[in-house]
């Protein structure tokens, strides 16, 4: 548990509503303890930026709304999986990690021609990455239920989402390779002299894969505009990350490649944004790659919502898949004390960006937006079977072979 305490060491009271800027700053300090190594490396490079404090109110409100969209979208998925057989989603829920995707994408260009926007490569746990990058929730809901009008016309389902129009190159169901692909995108950006940045989200599980060494080493050698965001939620499937990685902070691995490796409190969107902005600035300035390890946690099981209850956040119950699960219930309860939604809301309130009433109004609007997305999805048509022979290649269709 040492890892958990030190990475989520922020005091529980940071999530109390009646919080003032002063106590919040204490909160940062405490969380700071968690990110010691990361921020030491950062300071050594003179990076003391606390950029979030200078963001315009709309942007801060937008970040808060994004966190809420991800939260309510996935809570809806969880509830539907438990209660609504008409919705056929097979899903790895992102709840608990919202501040990571939101803080990361808030520091990127997400609008504009494909030749100019920044790109992200995601994982099998895609809702947060997709929504934070700007994917339309209606199409997302439809894709999760395999509809012909879904984001990817029903071909993708959950694990293979992609939306070029917002620079979401996509989810990938295989753990690891996306990092190599992302470093290749960065290679292309450098070759064409563009200022674009390529980001890969990878779980703590990706550290052990060949792709980790390959992408970090080559991005370092070629000084590529590449950012590796490790979402360390402590588990790969049912195994604690200490089974996969010999050190406490995966970020320290970056130093081997002479690349900055920063640990950040993944539950606090402003801290994630601060570090990400430094990394993006480095990349655009041609200073090469950065690795950011966000300490975070998933509230549900590795896959789906076993052990969860409709209307309640998180899986506390038994997960039939987790025969060798090492996830103690109290670990989850600890993390719930530092919920990314609460932290973001309290930050904005304490900064005087919004008040409690406005916060509630925003949340109500987001929940309505999510509801409309799923209502829309419910009206959408199923896929035409024969379409399965399309999209193998850009042109034409392949032959049916199942009939002999």
Ligand X SMILES: Cc1ncc(C[n+]2csc(CCOP(=O)(O)OP(=O)(O)O)c2C)c(N)n1
Between residue 113 and residue 172, which ones bind ligand X under the rule CB under 6 A? Answer: 123-125
Of residues 242 and 325, the one with the C-beta less far from its own copies:
242
Q: Is residue 244 within the footprint of its own copies (CB under 8 A)?
A: yes
**Distance separating alpha carbons of residues 31 and 267, to the nearest angstrom:** 10
Residue 308's beta-bridge partner residues?
Answer: 315
**Which are the contacts of 238, defined by CB distance < 8 A and separation ≥ 6?**
302, 321, 322, 323, 324, 325, 326, 327
**Distance separating alpha carbons of residues 300 and 306, to the nearest angstrom:** 8
The secondary structure of 172-192 as a DSSP string is: -SSTTTHHHHHHHHHHHHHHT
x/- track of binding to Mg ion for residues 222-261 (CB under 5 A): -----------x-xx-------------------------
Q: Is residue 181 within the footprint of another protein (CB under 8 A)?
A: yes
**Distance separating alpha carbons of residues 31 and 370, to the nearest angstrom:** 32
Binding-site partner at residue 86 among its own copies, another protein, Mg ion, none, CB < 5 to 8 Å by type: none
**Distance separating alpha carbons of residues 206 and 172, to the nearest angstrom:** 12
Q: Is residue 208 within the footprint of another protein (CB under 8 A)?
A: yes
Please identify, among the stretches 53-61, 73-81, 100-108, 206-214, the one whose residues bind another protein according to the rule CB under 8 A.
Answer: 206-214
Of residues 233 and 380, the one with the C-beta less far from ligand X:
233
Residue 235's beta-bridge partner residues?
Answer: 240
Interface pick for ligand X out of 173, 184, 306, 307 (rule CB under 6 A): 173
CB atoms within 10 A of CB 299: 24
Q: Is residue 170 within the footprint of another protein (CB under 8 A)?
A: yes
Of residues 120 and 245, the one with the C-beta less far from its own copies:
245
Q: How far is the CB of 179 from its own copies (least distance, A)?
A: 12
Interface pick for another protein out of 10, 205, 289, 340 (rule CB under 8 A): 205
Binding-site partner at residue 252 among another protein, its own copies, Mg ion, none, CB < 5 to 8 Å by type: its own copies
Binding-site partner at residue 125 among Mg ion, another protein, ligand X, none, CB < 5 to 8 Å by type: ligand X
Q: How far is the CB of 106 from another protein (least distance, A)?
A: 21
Interface pick for Mg ion out of 172, 204, 249, 331 (rule CB under 5 A): 204
186-189's contacts with Cβ under 8 Å and 24+ in sequence apart are 186/219, 186/224, 186/225, 186/226, 186/283, 186/289, 187/218, 187/222, 187/224, 189/224, 189/225
Q: Is residue 382 within the footprint of its own copies (CB under 8 A)?
A: no
**Which are the contacts of 170, defined by CB distance < 8 A and separation ≥ 6?**
121, 122, 160, 161, 162, 163
Helices (H), 302-355: 329-336, 340-350
**Which are the contacts of 26, defined by CB distance < 8 A and separation ≥ 6?**
11
What are the residues binding its own copies (CB under 8 A)? 208, 210, 212-214, 217, 220-221, 243-247, 252-253, 255-258
Binding footprint of ligand X on the chain (CB under 6 A)? 123-125, 173-176, 203-206, 233, 235-237, 302
């Amino acid at each position: 548990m040492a890892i958990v305490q030190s990475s989520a060491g922020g005091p529980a009271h940071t999530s109390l509503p009646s919080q003032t800027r002063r106590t919040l700053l204490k909160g940062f300090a405490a969380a700071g303890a968690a990110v010691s190594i990361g921020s030491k490396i950062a300071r050594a490079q003179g990076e003391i930026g606390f950029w979030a404090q200078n963001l315009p109110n709309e942007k801060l409100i937008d970040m808060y709304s994004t966190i809420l969209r991800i939260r309510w979208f996935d809570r809806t998925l969880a509830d539907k999986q438990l209660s609504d057989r008409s919705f056929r989603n097979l899903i790895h829920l992102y709840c608990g990690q919202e501040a990571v995707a939101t803080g990361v994408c808030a520091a990127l260009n997400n609008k504009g021609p494909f030749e100019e926007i920044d790109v992200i490569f995601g994982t099998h746990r895609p809702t947060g990455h997709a929504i934070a990058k700007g994917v339309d929730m209606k199409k997302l809901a439809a894709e999760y239920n395999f509809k012909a009008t879904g984001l990817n016309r029903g071909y993708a389902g959950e694990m293979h989402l992609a939306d070029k129009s917002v620079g979401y190159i996509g989810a990938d169901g295989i753990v690891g390779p996306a990092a190599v692909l992302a470093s290749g995108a960065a290679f292309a950006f450098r070759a064409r002299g563009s200022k674009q940045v390529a980001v890969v989200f990878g779980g703590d599980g990706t550290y052990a894969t060949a792709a980790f060494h390959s992408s970090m080493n080559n991005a370092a050698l070629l000084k590529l505009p590449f950012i590796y965001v490790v979402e360390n939620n402590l588990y790969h499937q049912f195994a604690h990350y200490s089974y996969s990685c010999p050190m406490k902070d995966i970020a320290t691995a970056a130093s081997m490649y002479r690349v900055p490796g920063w640990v950040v409190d993944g539950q606090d969107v402003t801290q994630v944004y601060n570090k990400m902005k430094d990394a993006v600035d480095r990349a655009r300035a041609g200073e090469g790659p950065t690795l950011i390890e966000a300490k975070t946690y998933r509230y549900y099981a590795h896959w789906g919502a076993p052990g969860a209850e409709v209307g309640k956040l998180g899986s506390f119950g038994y997960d039939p898949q987790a025969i060798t699960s090492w996830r103690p219930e109290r670990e989850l309860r600890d993390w719930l004390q530092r919920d990314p939604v609460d932290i973001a809301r309290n930050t904005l309130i304490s900064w005087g960006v919004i008040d409690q009433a406005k916060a509630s109004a925003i949340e109500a609007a987001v929940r309505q937006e999510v509801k409309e997305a799923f209502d829309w999805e419910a009206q959408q048509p199923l896929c035409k079977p024969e379409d399965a022979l399309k999209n193998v290649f850009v042109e034409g269709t392949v032959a049916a072979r199942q009939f002999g």
